[in-house]
Structures are given as C-alpha cells and as structure tokens.
Structure 1
Amino acid sequence: MEKIALITDSTSDLSSEIINKYDVKMLNLKIIYKDREYIDKVNITPQEVYDNLSVEVPHTSLPSIEDMHNLFSKLESEGYTHAIVTGIGSALSGTFSALKLVASEHENITTTVFDSKSLTLGAGAIIIGCGEMLKQGKKYDEIVAELPAMREKISVFYIVDTLEYLIKGGRIGKVAGTIGQLLNIKPIISINDDGVYYTHSKARGKNQANSKLIEIINDKLKESKARIWVMHGGAMEEGKKLYDYLSTNPNITSLNLGDISPVAGVHTGPGLVGVVIVKEPFV
C-alpha cells in the first residue's frame, strides 16, 4: 500500500493550517549574517530582515544536505513508500538540484522532485493541489501525471519598491534595473516558462504600478475563475487594500492574504506586493 509524503521548502509560504491539513514535510532555508544564522520561518520574521537591511544584507542558503538526508531517513523509518517534492524553482535556488541528488540516494522511497519554476505560493499551490488529490484517494502515479498541468495554471505577478535587492542577490533574471530605477519605472515582475524573472509590464510610479497589477488580475479573472493569494513583503497596508478590493469579485473561488518568507524578503527588500493566481479547475 502506498504511503505518500509531500515535501516542500519554507519559501513556498504555506500556512500552518495547510501544512497540518496535508501533513506537509518542510525543509527550511537559512538566512546568514556575518555573526549569526537564522532558520527561515522559524526564528526570524520578514520584518526583522527588512529592519536590518540598512545595516547588513544577509546571504541566504538552501537547507543543509544533512537536513534533507535526515528527512528522507525519517520518512523511511515511518513507512513512507513515495514522496512528491516541489519548492522554489531551479532557476532561483540550488534547493531543487540538491533535493534531486539526496532523493536519488534513498532508493527505498520512490520520489518525484518536480520543478515548480516558481516561488512563494506559486510553488505552494502545487503542494496544495497534491494534498487535495491525496484526500480524493488518488495514487502516486496519478498525482505525478497532473503536476505539469497544475504548473501551467499558476501565474505570479509582483511589484517591488526597488530593484536594488534583486540586483544584489543576482536574481534579477530578465528584469532591466538601473535606468528604470532612475526614472521611477516600476516593473510588474513575473516568471517565464524557464522559471526566470522577467518584466511583464511597466508603470511610472507605485500608484500606476498597483493599477496595472489590478488590471492584470482582472484580465486573468475574465479568462476563468481562480484562486488568488495576495502576498506582501513589508507592505501589509498595501496588501490589505488589494485583498479588500478583490474580496467582492465573484470569479475568485478562494482569496488569502499572507507575507512572503524572510528568505524571499532578503532578495526583494521591503515594499513588495504581489499575487499568485491559480486557474480553476485546478485539480
């Protein structure tokens, strides 16, 4: 009989409720300062990261190989036969490659490490979809077969106050930076089919960028009903405004508001507002 584990990393921004509901196994990334180290989503908050950015911009690190091996060993001891793993996309972190390597060394568990080509709840939504299928009694092969189709239904769009931190972290992808900052151009950033950041559209100033983001969301909702997560990084007020605006839209099947992980906050800086849009039917 199959016993299937769902595994993700802390940047997927799953709520504790979802983690408990689907018994998701979590691997936490790390935030490293010169003289101290923190565990993402465990002993540091996004706000603490933002408050300290003027003093020091920390490094981030994927979960340790030891943590990954320990998790798979624990799963083996608990009788798991299969695992489905997805988290931050392979173009944005080395976590994907490390997990593939570790999984290959635990032959007692049949494992699929799936590239979300996304981040935050773009990756988390895939885990939720897997959890829903497990609750429906779907088998491992059935769930794995649906992973590419789920990924195709997920879109991520966000605005940042400054591109400074994406540039410093080397995660700028195909987003043009320096000149745009001088002209107060605010790109609406998305993720392409290769899992790389790119400029979806541009606006002059934050207000116009927020309006453009709403236009993008409304266009998506005209195509189909959708689940939406409003995400913010050090911008609760703006995130709440967007959430309130969307709360009366009849084409939204599920609406949630949350903050991004501290690890993501290191690379975006304060002032991020974004959405993850998942087309229905998802599973």
Structure 2
Amino acid sequence: MIRFVVDSSADFLAEELKEKNIELVPLNISLAGETYQDGVTLERNQFYEILTGQEDFPKTSQPSPDDFLSIFEDAKEKGDDVICILLSSSLSGTCQSAHLCKNMAEYDPIYIVDSLSATIGIKLIVDHAIDLRNKGMSAKEIVAGLEDLKSRIRIFAGVDTLEFLCRGGRVSRASAAIGELANIKPIITVTQEGTVAVAGKCLGKNKALRFITDKLAENPADPDFPLYTIYTYGEDNTEKLESKLEKSGIPFAKRLQVGATIGAHVGPGAFGIIYIAK
C-alpha cells in the first residue's frame, strides 16, 4: 500500500483528506499570544479574523516530529510505502523534520518530496501523485514522475493591502505607506526555487487583474490539469478575476481558499490563480 502524507500548508479541506485517504501533519501557528495547530484547532476564516484584529505577524513552525514518527513507524509495522509531499524547504523546516524522522524510523520506503511550492500548488502535486498510484505506479516511480510537474506550477496572487507584506518584513513601513497612497497592488508568486517573491507591482486593482491574466497568457495552463482561482478572506476580488477569465474564454475548475502559509503574507482580500503550465 502507498500512503500519502501532507502538512497543513497544502490547504486540503478535512473532508477531502478523508475522501482521498491523505494523512495530515499540521504546522503550528503562533498568533495573538496563542499557538494553534493549523487546520486542526485553527480554521481558515478564524485565522483571518484573528490576523486582522492584531498587529503582530504570525509565526509558523514545523510540525512536531512525533506526528511524522508515528505515521512512519505505523507504515514500517504494516510494510506500507509512504510519500510525503511537503511545503517548500525554503519556507519551512518541515522537510528537514520529516527526513530526521525517517532516519529515526530506520525505514527506507519513505519518500520525502520537497514540493518547492505552497498552498494549492501542493494540492495539485498530491492529486497527480494519487492519479499515478491509481494507474499502478510504484512509490519510486510516482516520486520520479513528480519532478517535472513541480517545475511547472505557477502561483500569482494579487494583494489588496500592503499592510501584511509590511508586517512580514517584505516591504518597509515607509514603502507600504507610500504604496497605499498610490494604490499599488503587488502580485506575489512562489518561485521555482520555492521562495515567496514579488512578481510585479500594479497601479490599481484593474491593472493587477490584468497582470495576472497576462501572466497566464504568457505561460498557458496545461489543459490536462485544473486551474484554480484563489481567495483569502472575502471573495469579491476573486469574482472579478473569474469574470475576466470567463470573458477571455479561460476555464477554471474551482475557487479555493488559501490558508495561513501564504495568507499571512497577502492578507484578506487577496485574489489569484494557481495552475500547472504547459
């Protein structure tokens, strides 16, 4: 049997994890003086409500090693293969923690995949891996088959306010103040190296929407995979983006909510797309 493990940054819904038989290892989030297990004791809307009500930037820490170790030891006892598809190693020590637990379990058929991605980008990888398993591939073959896919994931998210980029140290307070006055809307991406970066800065929301659709035109989506629209907290901006996609004849599969990993940087009102390029 091949088992799949994700951390909570993949932003799967609880019912989806159950339906697809995916095992979850939650990240820890420290926010407003409390520590939560992402996706377990902290729901997404609750996260954004707390985030907007205080000034500190949330701190995300890697899962407890015990969470990985209990899964690995159970797999060893049952003779199962395990494929862990985890948050980019440039954003978290989760992969490192999983490797450490693999060594502690002393069990070779555990595969640690650095997604070099985040949020729904990880979901795309996991869903493809499940498809490959269902086609009869071995765990080793599945992991090899994910390498090309990882390099083709594209994430573009428009930011409605600079406040949260400022809190996270990605823009200075002075730059944020000037940017808000000028109605600057940055576009955030996750690079192919797995880091969060600014892909562009747009003057106003309409130009930000156009920037995203232009990026999609430059790097068209692979029709064999779903294109998702995304939102954080509040869906009006994403509805406008979807309207532009529809007018351009670009199909999208579904609208999905992004959780704390990327949401902490972009804040409420963010909008964007996540897909696999041709």
TM-score normalised by the shorter chain: which range applies?
Answer: 0.7 to 0.9
Measure the CA separation in 1 of the matches of 2:117 and 2:254: 18
For residues 1-283 of structure 1, the aligned pairs below 5 Å read: 3-16=1-14, 18-33=16-31, 35-53=33-51, 54-57=53-56, 58-80=58-80, 82-170=81-169, 172=170, 178=176, 180-181=179-180, 183-221=182-220, 224-225=222-223, 226-243=225-242, 245-246=244-245, 252=251, 255-279=253-277
> Following TM superposition, by how much is the alpha carbon of 1:151 offset from its aligned partner in structure 2, in angstroms?
0.6
Identity in percent: 28
> Following TM superposition, by how much is the alpha carbon of 1:120 offset from its aligned partner in structure 2, in angstroms?
0.5
On the 8 A contact 1:87/1:124 being kept in 2, the answer is no
On the 8 A contact 1:40/1:263 being kept in 2, the answer is no
Measure the CA separation in 2 of the matches of 1:108 and 1:224: 36
Amino acid at match of 1:59: K
> Following TM superposition, by how much is the alpha carbon of 1:202 offset from its aligned partner in structure 2, in angstroms?
2.3
What is the root-mean-square deviation in Å for CA atoms of aligned residues?
A: 2.7
On the 8 A contact 1:190/1:199 being kept in 2, the answer is yes
Measure the CA separation in 2 of the matches of 1:251 and 1:243: 9
SS at match of 1:6: strand
- Gaps spanning 5+ residues in structure 1: where? none
Measure the CA separation in 2 of the matches of 1:263 and 1:200: 18
On the 8 A contact 1:49/1:265 being kept in 2, the answer is no
* Count of aligned pairs between the two proteins: 272
Measure the CA separation in 1 of the matches of 2:229 and 2:199: 18
Measure the CA separation in 2 of the matches of 1:242 and 1:131: 30
Residues 82-115 of structure 1, C-alpha deviations (whole Å, 9 max, x = no match): 2211221111111121112112222224222121
> Following TM superposition, by how much is the alpha carbon of 1:46 offset from its aligned partner in structure 2, in angstroms?
2.5
> Following TM superposition, by how much is the alpha carbon of 1:209 offset from its aligned partner in structure 2, in angstroms?
0.6
> Following TM superposition, by how much is the alpha carbon of 1:119 offset from its aligned partner in structure 2, in angstroms?
0.5
- Gaps spanning 5+ residues in structure 2: where? none
Bigger RCO (CA 8 Å, 6+ sep) = 1
On the 8 A contact 1:224/1:251 being kept in 2, the answer is no
Residues 185-232 of structure 1, C-alpha deviations (whole Å, 9 max, x = no match): 2222212222122222221022221222122224433x7425211111
Residues 108-143 of structure 1, C-alpha deviations (whole Å, 9 max, x = no match): 242221211110111121111110000111112211
Larger CA deviation: 227-236 vs 51-60: 51-60
Counterparts in 2 of 1:79 and 1:167: CA distance versus 1, 3 Å:
farther
Amino acid at match of 2:75: L
Measure the CA separation in 2 of the matches of 1:36 and 1:187: 30
On the 8 A contact 1:235/1:273 being kept in 2, the answer is no
TM-score, normalised with respect to structure 2: 0.85
Larger CA deviation: 91-100 vs 125-134: 91-100
On the 8 A contact 2:157/2:272 being kept in 1, the answer is yes
Measure the CA separation in 2 of the matches of 1:15 and 1:250: 29
Amino acid at match of 2:37: I
Residues 239-270 of structure 1, C-alpha deviations (whole Å, 9 max, x = no match): 23434554587664x61211112344333321
On the 8 A contact 1:187/1:209 being kept in 2, the answer is yes
Measure the CA separation in 1 of the matches of 2:128 and 2:186: 30
